[in-house]
Structure 1
Amino acid sequence: MGGALGRAAGPLRILTPAGRAVAVTGLAAALVAAAAGWVEACAIACCCAVVLLVALAQVAVPSPHAVSLRLSNRRVVAGQTAIGEIAVTNRRARRAGAGVIELPIGSGAGQILVPPLAGHETWNEVFSVVTRRRGLIRIGPAHAVRADALGLVRRVSTWDNPETLHVHPRTVRVPFEATGFQLDVEGVVTAKLSSSDVAFHALRDYEPGDDRRHVHWASSARLGRLVVRQFEETRRSHHLLVLDTRGGAWPRDDFETAVSVAASLALADMTRSRTVWLRGRAGWLPTSAPVGLMDALAELEPDDAGADPLADVVRRAVAEHPDLSALTVVVGPDTDDEEATGLLAPAGPDVAAGVLRIRTGAVRRRLSVERGSLVDCPSVEDLPHLLLLAGTAS
């Protein structure tokens, strides 16, 4: 919104609950006075009418305040505080009295008291939004409010400049390469040494059986003995992540941990320019850029879309990306060992595969299972240590 003033929506006059009570009382008193001829009822009806007319007169003129809203950062991590600024301008040439600005924030709203302003003066106020959980928080549109002294009538001018705050999941740095076991000359360099590859590492003495094509003749002539080139293996790094998003599979806190775990693994690949795919139960999430992925994860919620079991989702995901080198499936605490092992069945023997089972408060552990490993992860902070131990870190 860049600080530009929004366009005021049509003014809306509404009776407050107290105003509606006065109106109903006056109407009832008028009916009683007309039917029974009670002077007292007529007096009550007249009093109610006068009070409402005076209240309407007080809000007949719309608020002179124009409001703009700006967030210093539209993306924060869960637990951080977002800072915003609201600018209130007196649109008139003459002095404006004090006023009230209502600012909706998520499901709640805050009130900002505006001091008297000179003609065309602008007043700025900084506000903060504390984020406790991942998600989207809608801030605005701001409302300039005029109300009568008794609180019977409100006139609201709505300014159409809402902001959306993306609250990203928490992440940690993890030692994850997702290289698997597949040699690939266009892959990433690993720490494993090889006598035949494309990533040169060092020279070493010739040993019987070494391929003479790798003899470094210039160095051999200078040293007076045969030396050969030694290489670092290059392996494919195509990582497939599958996150179980079934609504019934997750307690709320465990699902938040699962999203943070998946985000940490995906970001580890993306920051190293590795290929990564992330699949939820309902479809693929964008992994072309970290910001796009984190925005999508901010919106992700558990759901029961589709009737396919998680094993079928994993199988289809592997079929769509048969060149994967690593497979990681993130599941909920109720997934038993047998079911978790079955999720790795589609992975080939040259794929580094593992299941991360999120169990908040549980003891972290690693089990070797068929086709890979099963890791119990109590929190996202435990993830780096667990990956150092688990086969999914290879």
Structure 2
Amino acid sequence: MRLDTSRAPVSDTGTGTRGSTTTRFGRTQQAPGTIGAGRRRVRRWWRRNRRKMRRTWRRIRETVTPTGYFVAGIAALSAVLGAVFGWVEAWFVAVVFAVMLLIGLPFLLGSRAYLVRIAVDRTRVTAGGSVHLTVEIENAGARPALPATAELPIGEALREIAVPFIGPRGSADVPVEIPTASRGVIEVGPMTLARRDPLGLVRREITWRDRHLIHVHPRTALLPRGTSGLVRDLEGASSRRLTDSDLSFHAVRDYARGDALRHVHWKSTAKTGSLMVRQYEESQTARAAVLFDASRAEYASDEEFELGVSVAASLGLQAVREGRERFIASQWAPGRIRPSVDGLEELPSQTPTQLLDSWAELEAAEEAPPIERLARNLAESRRPLSVVAVVTGSVPTPTRLRRAGVSFSEDVRVIVLRCELLADPEARLVDAATFCTIGAVGDLPQLMMRGGLG
């Protein structure tokens, strides 16, 4: 016998309807398990999409400017006042401000398919010059791009660049000139392209990562080659230390056990009848040290500090160009977070470019040991030095400068250069050290040519 299942009765237990219960009066109620399943689905959806929601909300918050938030707040407050008190004026203000926000939204529309590249003609320049860069903007989209305003950070300043209308697959070059009046490091980029409405209520930004570092080197003076006192011959200048093997002959002495036979002086041996050997004066190459006082308190002004940097950079650059052994130090070095134990921070000087980059990055030290203590630490460091140039400002007294000069031994040539802006150049010998006063970086080669440092 065949049964007609389409007309089967519904069970009273509620198994015929999944997730619901049928009452005796024929009404259906939602089962408690269904509510929990719905909450679990909501939680799963929130876990999957919470990052997108937060990112979307962050974009909305970044799109509205502070002025836009003020207008939106006034519109909401006016709507509340109009609804509560029935003020027509409040409704009018709410409608007007809401329309202002809506009118600003179309200004955010447009193509985002920009390809931006910053081309710099050079990344190193001397203070007082300029750098020319070109912002190359290409529209990679198939739709035209409306004019916009780009913001390009240049150091601590923010330069606004007007981006013209660019057609589909078109490009535009925007030239920008950067003056480099003072020494330092200028960071160019990243560029931000902004679209905003005329009232400044809404704003949309796109940032590119292209950035460049421009090193502005200090002004330096070209010093005469082979200047007395600062540069010596490549084969070395004789010192007062005696040795058994070198270039500068000093005298002969009696043979001692262990002396090499090649140093026997046979003519003296024939005259005296006993073995005599040669004795030499130890020769040394020009191991120059430039000690720069980077303490801002030792200079009367920022211009005087820059003068000291130029003088020290000129001396160090001359030593690098002539291939001399050198030690260039200050109270602060680029990249150091904590000062060294003796306060001496060596600047990289493998090449002229590396040295000038270091001087461009150098900043004034606010808390640093005095220059006389640095000179004493340099003298006690046991570095083999033959010439030491100490560069400082006009604040240190002559007594302090003499203390810095007498810290070194007699076989070390000490030159103390006191930088005083617009002062007359002067050089004098005090306590076996040469003290010079420099008012401009151009005075340095003049003093050397006149023998002031010789």
Fold-level match, TM-score > 0.5?
yes
Match of 1:138, SS? strand
Which 10-residue stretch deviates more, 68-77 or 95-104?
A: 95-104
Change in Cα spacing, 1:330 to 1:185, as seen in structure 2 (3 Å) is: closer
State whether residues 232 and 286 of structure 2, in contact with CA within 8 Å, keep that contact through their aligned partners in structure 1.
no
Kindly indicate whether residue 311 of structure 2 is the aligned counterpart of residue 261 of structure 1: yes
Kindly indicate whether residue 373 of structure 2 is the aligned counterpart of residue 312 of structure 1: yes
Partner in structure 2 of residue 356 of structure 1: 417
CA–CA distance in 2 between the matches of 1:181 and 1:70?
A: 41
Kindly indicate whether residue 357 of structure 2 is the aligned counterpart of residue 295 of structure 1: yes
Match of 1:127, SS? strand
State whether residues 178 and 269 of structure 1, in contact with CA within 8 Å, keep that contact through their aligned partners in structure 2.
no
* Root-mean-square deviation over aligned CA pairs: 2.8
Q: Deviations over 1:226-284 (max 9, x none)?
A: xxxxxxx9752111111111121121000001001011000111101111111111311
2:435 to 374, 377, 394: 374
Partner in structure 2 of residue 279 of structure 1: 329
Q: Deviations over 1:291-324 (max 9, x none)?
A: 1111111111111344x33212112223335311
State whether residues 111 and 143 of structure 2, in contact with CA within 8 Å, keep that contact through their aligned partners in structure 1.
no
State whether residues 65 and 144 of structure 1, in contact with CA within 8 Å, keep that contact through their aligned partners in structure 2.
no
Which 10-residue stretch deviates more, 139-148 or 90-99?
A: 90-99
Matched AA of 2:308: A
Which 10-residue stretch deviates more, 239-248 or 94-103?
A: 94-103
Kindly indicate whether residue 200 of structure 2 is the aligned counterpart of residue 151 of structure 1: yes
Partner in structure 2 of residue 71 of structure 1: 120
Partner in structure 2 of residue 386 of structure 1: 447
Change in Cα spacing, 1:386 to 1:84, as seen in structure 2 (3 Å) is: same
Matched AA of 1:80: G
1:328 to 368, 375, 389: 389
CA–CA distance in 2 between the matches of 1:65 and 1:357?
A: 54
Partner in structure 1 of residue 171 of structure 2: 122
State whether residues 180 and 236 of structure 1, in contact with CA within 8 Å, keep that contact through their aligned partners in structure 2.
no
Partner in structure 1 of residue 286 of structure 2: 237
CA–CA distance in 2 between the matches of 1:360 and 1:30?
A: 66
Q: Under a length normalisation based on structure 2, what TM-score does the superposition of the two structures give?
A: 0.70
State whether residues 90 and 121 of structure 1, in contact with CA within 8 Å, keep that contact through their aligned partners in structure 2.
yes
* Equivalence map 1:180-191=2 (5 Å): 180=229, 186-187=235-236
Structure 1: gaps (5+ residues): 1-9, 190-196, 200-212, 214-232
CA–CA distance in 1 between the matches of 2:184 and 2:234?
A: 41
Cα displacement (A) at 1:389: 4.0
State whether residues 372 and 401 of structure 2, in contact with CA within 8 Å, keep that contact through their aligned partners in structure 1.
no
Cα displacement (A) at 1:176: 6.1
Change in Cα spacing, 1:82 to 1:183, as seen in structure 2 (3 Å) is: closer
Match of 2:323, SS? coil
Identity across aligned pairs (percent)?
A: 31
Q: Deviations over 1:355-385 (max 9, x none)?
A: 1000002121112111311101001011101
Cα displacement (A) at 1:102: 1.8
Change in Cα spacing, 1:280 to 1:34, as seen in structure 2 (3 Å) is: farther
State whether residues 288 and 387 of structure 2, in contact with CA within 8 Å, keep that contact through their aligned partners in structure 1.
yes
CA–CA distance in 2 between the matches of 1:136 and 1:42?
A: 55
Change in Cα spacing, 1:88 to 1:23, as seen in structure 2 (3 Å) is: same
Change in Cα spacing, 1:269 to 1:345, as seen in structure 2 (3 Å) is: same
Change in Cα spacing, 1:20 to 1:182, as seen in structure 2 (3 Å) is: closer
Kindly indicate whether residue 142 of structure 2 is the aligned counterpart of residue 99 of structure 1: no
Matched AA of 2:355: L
CA–CA distance in 1 between the matches of 2:363 and 2:430?
A: 30
Kindly indicate whether residue 211 of structure 2 is the aligned counterpart of residue 135 of structure 1: no
Change in Cα spacing, 1:378 to 1:179, as seen in structure 2 (3 Å) is: closer
State whether residues 185 and 235 of structure 1, in contact with CA within 8 Å, keep that contact through their aligned partners in structure 2.
no
Q: Under a length normalisation based on structure 1, what TM-score does the superposition of the two structures give?
A: 0.80
CA–CA distance in 2 between the matches of 1:237 and 1:14?
A: 64
Structure 2: gaps (5+ residues): 1-57, 239-245, 249-264, 266-281, 333-344
Cα displacement (A) at 1:346: 2.1
Higher relative contact order (CA 8 A, sep 6+): 1
Partner in structure 2 of residue 81 of structure 1: 130
State whether residues 86 and 125 of structure 1, in contact with CA within 8 Å, keep that contact through their aligned partners in structure 2.
yes
State whether residues 231 and 319 of structure 2, in contact with CA within 8 Å, keep that contact through their aligned partners in structure 1.
no
Q: Deviations over 1:7-57 (max 9, x none)?
A: xxx978433454243223223323432443312112211221222133134
Cα displacement (A) at 1:96: 2.0
CA–CA distance in 1 between the matches of 2:305 and 2:231?
A: 32
Matched AA of 1:264: S
State whether residues 366 and 390 of structure 1, in contact with CA within 8 Å, keep that contact through their aligned partners in structure 2.
no
CA–CA distance in 2 between the matches of 1:281 and 1:390?
A: 30
Cα displacement (A) at 1:329: 0.5
Change in Cα spacing, 1:310 to 1:34, as seen in structure 2 (3 Å) is: farther
2:68 to 19, 36, 42: 19
Matched AA of 1:356: L
CA–CA distance in 1 between the matches of 2:156 and 2:312?
A: 28
State whether residues 180 and 237 of structure 1, in contact with CA within 8 Å, keep that contact through their aligned partners in structure 2.
no
Kindly indicate whether residue 167 of structure 2 is the aligned counterpart of residue 167 of structure 1: no
Matched AA of 1:379: A
Match of 1:320, SS? coil
Change in Cα spacing, 1:41 to 1:11, as seen in structure 2 (3 Å) is: closer
Change in Cα spacing, 1:152 to 1:380, as seen in structure 2 (3 Å) is: same
Kindly indicate whether residue 172 of structure 2 is the aligned counterpart of residue 111 of structure 1: no
